[in-house]
């Protein structure tokens, strides 16, 4: 039988392969409503299959979440990159094998979670045994903290490549949101649990809701979050110190990974907020660090316009100096400055042994494609247009480089005796 691909086998980045067929998208890559890119032939077959519908609505092949529409848009940038890759690396007449993209691949257009996920997957396979043997053992979790409106939630979404968190003006995270991603052989509807913290035993589940394909997870998350805040604080203000939300997602294309988003650190509370917001938000971050240190990946976010001397993330690090040696820095909102500023920040003297990664996640402009994968394309374009392509090649810019950096730091820290998992990420945005 003839080979399925006309190209000779050298390792091909997974980002260039269709999530449905695992084959190189060398013909007509298109973006679906979920923001992911597929081979047009494969995604059209998926959309024509009535078995891929839930409640008369097609679901995403990657996330299992309902698609808002079935329109497909050509991914011209990715097509150009793949054609360049074919010209430079592939010869006719054999089957390519896929692999995770290497750090020096300058055009990674989606998140390479496979590389990071394999470290967590091994632990996930023995989770029950560890819980029984160690008693109270908990799995690794990626924790993000930073000043309010600094882009921390978007960083987590770009890592997972799934839209998860409430967005919009005057919307903020008011309680911890734990996203549990699990690899499974088939899709299951997302389930959102409201959890009550218990420092002396297992946390208690107080409510659960299954998210149907008609709804986006972030809309249900927002509604449940506000329900908790109104119940605990008697109004839509302040944060919860008692509860958190746990969103469970599972599917064949998801990694085994936990993500925890914390309320933003407040400097000057708005007139509608409690006067204790500064202390409350810092106390919650401190408690989380104390409870997860030794098994957590901490992402501490700092906006590009936030000066080091007033940085709330740095203040947290100053209170917890033990995590500085295992911390990775990440700059966000780089689109708000130009090349000179970015270069200066990347050369900033820091106590962070593993340096920084620069990111840019500006929302789409008029006429631009929406979705997380289109956002990844715009991020690469931004750094190249700013003359900073070398940062991408060096693995120091874009959220895809961040994913690789997380994996690298994880391996180094684990091999140096950091325990099952003990290293921290600081996502900073500049000075």
Rounded to whole angstroms, the Cα distance separating 354 from 418 reads: 15
DSSP letter assigned to residue 425: E
Among 42, 74, 99, residue at a domain's last position:
99
Contact in structure between 180 and 247 (CB atoms under 8 Å): yes
Indicate if 206 and 75 belong to the same structural domain.
no
Give the global pTM.
0.77
Among 76, 99, 122, residue at a domain's last position:
99
Is the pLDDT reported for residue 344 higher than 80? yes
- Residues 373-392: tens digit of each pLDDT: 778 878 988 999 999 999 99
Residues in the chain: 431
Rounded to whole angstroms, the Cα distance separating 423 from 427 reads: 13
Mean pLDDT of 235-242: 93
String of DSSP letters for 71-105:
--EE-HHHHHHHHHHHHHH--BSS--EEEPPPTT-
Q: Which domain holds residue 32?
A: 11-99
Q: Is residue 108 part of a domain?
A: no
Q: State the pLDDT confidence band at 162, using cuts at 50, 70 and 90.
A: confident
| Cross-strand pairs, 195 | 205, 244
| Mean pLDDT across the chain | 79
Indicate if 124 and 61 belong to the same structural domain.
no
The whole-number pLDDT of residue 10 equals 59
Is the pLDDT reported for residue 272 higher than 90? yes
- Residues 95-132: tens digit of each pLDDT: 444 443 333 333 343 444 555 555 555 555 555 565 56
Q: Is residue 22 part of a domain?
A: yes
Residue 161 or residue 34, greater confidence: 34
Rounded to whole angstroms, the Cα distance separating 110 from 38 reads: 12
Q: What are phi and psi of 391, to 5 degrees?
A: -60, -40
The whole-number pLDDT of residue 401 equals 85
Indicate if 213 and 135 belong to the same structural domain.
yes
The whole-number pLDDT of residue 7 equals 52
Q: Is residue 42 part of a domain?
A: yes
Rounded to whole angstroms, the Cα distance separating 28 from 43 reads: 11
Q: Is residue 240 part of a domain?
A: yes
Indicate if 203 and 236 belong to the same structural domain.
yes
- CATH code at position 58: 3.30.40.10
Indicate if 91 and 171 belong to the same structural domain.
no
Count structural domains, the chain: 2
Indicate if 125 and 253 belong to the same structural domain.
yes
Indicate if 218 and 350 belong to the same structural domain.
yes
Q: Is residue 241 part of a domain?
A: yes
Residue 255 or residue 324, greater confidence: 324
Q: Is residue 106 part of a domain?
A: no
Mean pLDDT of 301-306: 85
The whole-number pLDDT of residue 108 equals 40
Residue 143, classed as helix, strand or coil, is: strand
Q: Is residue 157 part of a domain?
A: yes
Percent of the chain's residues with pLDDT above 70: 78
The whole-number pLDDT of residue 176 equals 95
Among 43, 76, 99, residue at a domain's last position:
99
Residue 218 or residue 6, greater confidence: 218
Q: Is residue 107 part of a domain?
A: no
- CATH code at position 196: 3.40.50.300
Rounded to whole angstroms, the Cα distance separating 355 from 341 reads: 16
């Amino acid at each position: 039988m003839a080979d399925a691909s006309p190209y000779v086998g050298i390792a091909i980045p997974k980002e260039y392969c269709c999530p449905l067929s695992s084959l190189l998208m060398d013909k007509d890559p298109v973006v679906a409503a979920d923001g992911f890119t597929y081979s047009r032939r494969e995604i059209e077959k998926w959309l024509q299959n009535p078995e891929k519908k839930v409640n008369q609505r097609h679901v995403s092949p990657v996330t299992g979440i309902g698609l808002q529409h079935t329109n497909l848009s050509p991914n011209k940038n990715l097509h150009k990159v793949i054609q360049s890759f074919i010209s430079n690396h592939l010869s006719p007449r054999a089957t390519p094998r896929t692999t995770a993209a290497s750090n020096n691949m300058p055009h990674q257009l989606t998140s390479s979670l496979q590389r990071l996920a394999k470290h967590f997957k091994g632990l996930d396979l023995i989770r029950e045994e560890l819980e029984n043997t160690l008693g109270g053992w908990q799995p690794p979790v990626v924790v993000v903290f930073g000043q309010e409106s600094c882009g921390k939630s978007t960083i987590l979404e770009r890592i997972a490549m799934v839209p998860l968190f409430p967005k919009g003006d005057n919307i903020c995270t008011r309680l911890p949101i734990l996203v549990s991603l699990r690899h499974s052989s088939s899709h299951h509807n997302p389930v959102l649990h409201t959890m009550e913290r218990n420092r002396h035993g297992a946390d208690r589940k107080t409510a659960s809701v299954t998210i149907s394909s008609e709804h986006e997870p972030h809309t249900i998350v927002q509604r449940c979050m506000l329900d908790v805040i109104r119940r605990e604080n008697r109004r839509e203000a302040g944060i919860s110190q008692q509860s958190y939300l746990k969103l469970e997602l599972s599917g064949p294309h998801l990694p085994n990974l936990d993500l925890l988003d914390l309320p933003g650190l407040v400097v000057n509370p708005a007139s509608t907020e409690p006067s204790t917001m500064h202390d409350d938000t810092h106390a919650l971050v401190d408690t989380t660090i104390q409870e997860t240190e030794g098994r957590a990946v901490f992402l501490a976010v700092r906006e590009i316009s936030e000066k080091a001397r007033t940085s709330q993330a740095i203040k947290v690090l100053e209170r917890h100096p033990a995590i500085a040696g295992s911390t990775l820095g990440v700059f966000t909102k780089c689109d708000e400055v130009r090349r000179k500023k970015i270069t200066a920040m990347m050369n900033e003297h820091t106590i962070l042994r593993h340096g920084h990664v620069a990111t840019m996640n500006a929302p789409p402009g008029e006429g631009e494609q929406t979705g997380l994968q289109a956002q990844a394309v715009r991020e690469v374009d931004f750094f190249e247009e700013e003359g900073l392509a070398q940062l991408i090649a060096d693995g120091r810019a874009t959220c895809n480089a961040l994913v690789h950096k997380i994996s690298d730091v994880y391996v180094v820290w684990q091999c140096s005796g950091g325990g099952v998992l003990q290293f921290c990420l600081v996502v900073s945005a500049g000075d």
